[in-house]
Amino acid sequence: MTAESPLLRITDLVVEFPTAGGPLRAVDGVSLEVAQGQRVGIVGESGSGKSVLSRTAMGLLGRKDARISGEITFQGRSLLDMGDRQRRDLWGREIAMVFQDPLSSLHPITPVGDQIVETLRRDPAMDKRAARARAVELLDMVGIPQAERRLRARAHELSGGMRQRVMIAIAVANRPSLLFADEPTTALDVTVQARILELFDELCRELSIGLVMVSHDLGVVAQHTDSVAVMYAGRIVERGPVDDVLRAPRMRYTNALLAAIPRMGEGRRELPRPIGGLPPDLIHPPAGCRFAPRCAHAVEACADQVPAFRPVPEAPSHEYACWNPASRPVRTEEAR
Ligand SMILES: Nc1ncnc2c1ncn2[C@@H]1O[C@H](COP(=O)(O)OP(=O)(O)OP(=O)(O)O)[C@@H](O)[C@H]1O
C-alpha cells in the first residue's frame, strides 16, 4: 500500500445501526488503504462486517442509513460528505461494482448490449455507433464468444458465468479506477469461478484497476489478491501482504479461519476444524479482544484489553492484533 496518495483511504471508520436492542456497531474503527492497481481482499466469518464496510466505502450506505464516523476518501475526495449527484457521477465512471447475483443487477428485458451502450454513453463524447463497437470489444475482452450476436441477448438467455462476465463488462466499461466485488463468484461453479477470477487479475493488471474483493473464501483471496484484511466482529484483526498473512498468520482467529477450510483431493490428513462458539453480540461486544471467548490461547489481558496492531518484526507490513500470537507459522502448507 502506498503511503502518499492511495486511491481509497478509509480512516477509523465506525458504522452503527440503531436497533431495538441498542446501537449495533457493524464496523468499529476500521482503517484501510487501496492503491492504484492493488487487489485487496476482505475476509472473515459471516457477520464480521465485510459487506457493511465495503457498502459504506462504495457510498451505497451513507449517513441516511446509519450513524457513520471516520473518513473515506477516494482520490482525496471525501465520499461521506459528497452529495448524491456527485456520488452517482463517480459510480459507473470511477467506481464500479460487481455483486454475487448478476440477475438482480441486469435489466431483465433490455438486451445486454443496450445496457453496456447505456453505460458507455455516460461519457458525452461517446456516440451511439462508437459505443456499440466498444460494447463488442468489451464482451470480447471479458471472454464472451460471438460478442456481436450476444449484444442482442437478454440476461435470462445467458448462463450464470456469462451474466457475471456481462456485469464485469459493464463495470469496467468506463475504465474505473476502483472496482468493488462482493462475493463475485460465490454463486458460480468452480471452473467458471476460476475463469472469472483470472479475468479480474487481468483487468487489474492491464487497466491498473484497484480491486476490493469481499469473500468468505480464503482460497480465492490467497490466489487473487495482493493484500488482505481479516475482519472479526467489526474490526480488522490482521492485515498485510496476502502471502505473509495467510502463510504465517499470527492472530489466532486467522489461524482458525484457515483451519476451517474444507479441502478435497490433497491427500490431507486432518479434517477441517470449524471455529467453535458463536460470533459476539455486536450490541454488547466483549470488552477486550472480541475473539477471546472462543480462543483456546487466550491469556489474562485478552479479556479486558483491546490488543493494538503490532507489526511482525521480520515483515513489518504484516500487522496483527493479538495478545498471545502464534510465534511461528502453524499451518504453513495449508494457507493456499
Ligand atoms: N441495516 C442493518 N441494520 C442492522 N444491522 C445490520 C444491518 N446491516 C448489517 N447489519 C449487521 O451488521 C453486522 C455485519 O454484517 P455484514 O453483512 O457486513 O457481515 P458480513 O461479514 O458481510 O457477513 P456475510 O459474509 O454473511 O455477508 C451483522 O451483525 C449484521 O446483522
Using the mean position of ligand 1's atoms as its centre, give its distance from the Cα of residue 112 in Å.
Answer: 31
Q: How far is the CA of 284 from the centre of ligand 1 (A)?
A: 15
State the DSSP H helix or E strand holding residue 213, giving kind and residue range, or none if neither: strand 210-214
Give the pLDDT band (50/70/90) at residue 4.
Answer: low
Q: How crowded is residue 130: how many other Cβ atoms within 10 Å of its Cβ? A: 14
282 Cα nearest atom in ligand 1: 29
Q: Sign of the CA dihedral 10, 200, 86, 76?
A: positive
Measured by CA distance, the residue closest to atom 26 of ligand 1 is 46
Residue whose C-alpha is closest to residue 254's, from 226, 224, 222:
222
Record: fold of 8-94+176-249: Rossmann fold (3.40.50)
| pLDDT of 195 | 83
Q: What is the mean pLDDT of the chain?
A: 89
pLDDT at 264: 55
Say which range, 103-107, 140-144, 207-211, has the weakest mean pLDDT. Answer: 103-107
Residue nearest to atom 17 of ligand 1 (CA): 51
C-alpha cell at 70: 471516520
CA–centroid distance, residue 225 to ligand 1 (Å): 23
Contact predicate 280/293, CB 8 Å: yes
CA distances (Å), origin 96, targets 136, 201, 214: 19, 16, 14
The DSSP result for 128-189, as a single string, is HHHHHHHHHHHHHHTT-SSHHHHTT--GGGS-HHHHHHHHHHHHHTT--SEEEEESTTTTS-
What SS3 class is residue 314?
A: coil
How long, in residues, is the chain? Answer: 336
Q: Which of 7, 5, 73 is nearest to 34 (CA)?
A: 7
| Rounded distance from Cα 104 to ligand 1 centre (Å) | 20
By three-state DSSP, how is residue 259 classified? helix
Nearest CA to ligand 1 atom 19: 47
Residue 82 DSSP SS3: coil
Cα 236 to the chain's mean position, in Å? Answer: 13
- Minimal-distance CA residue to ligand 1 atom 4: 17
Residue 293 sits at φ, ψ, to 5 deg, of: -60, -15
Q: Which of 14, 17, 101, 186 most suits a substitution to test ligand 1, by most atoms within 8 Å of the C-beta?
A: 17
Whose C-alpha lies nearest to ligand 1, atom 3?
A: 17
End-to-end CA distance of the chain: 22
Is pLDDT at 133 greater than 60 in this prediction?
Answer: yes
Tens digits of per-residue pLDDT, 285-320? 999 999 999 999 999 999 999 999 999 998 999 999
- What share of the chain in percent tops pLDDT 90? 67
CB of 185 closer than 8 Å to CB of 196: yes
Q: Which residues have any ligand 1 atom within 6 Å of their CB?
A: 17, 19, 24, 26, 44, 46-52, 216, 282
The residue whose C-alpha atom lies closest to atom 8 belonging to ligand 1 is 52
Ligand 1 centre to CA of 49 (Å) is: 6
CB 271 within 8 A of CB 297: no
- Give the residue-averaged pLDDT of 62-90: 92
Write down the pLDDT at residue 3.
47
User: 56 C-alpha to center of ligand 1: Å?
Assistant: 12
The DSSP 8-state label assigned to residue 279 in this structure reads P
Report which ligand 1 atom has the smallest distance to the Cα of 53.
18
> Where do the domains of the chain lie?
8-94+176-249
Residue 329 is predicted with a pLDDT of: 54
As beta bridge partners, residue 236 has 231
Please tell me whether residue 304 adopts helix, strand or coil conformation: helix
Task: Tell me the backbone φ, ψ of residue 10, rounded to 5 degrees.
Answer: -110, 125
Q: Which cell numbers in the block locate residue 229?
A: 484484511
Q: Per-residue pLDDT for 176 more than 70?
A: yes
- Calculate mean pLDDT across residues 200-228: 93
pLDDT band for 265, please (50, 70, 90 cuts).
low
**Ligand 1 midpoint to CA 14 (Å):** 13
DSSP line for 96-116: EEE-S-HHHHS-SSS-HHHHH
Is residue 270 very low, low, confident or very high in pLDDT (cuts 50, 70, 90)?
A: low
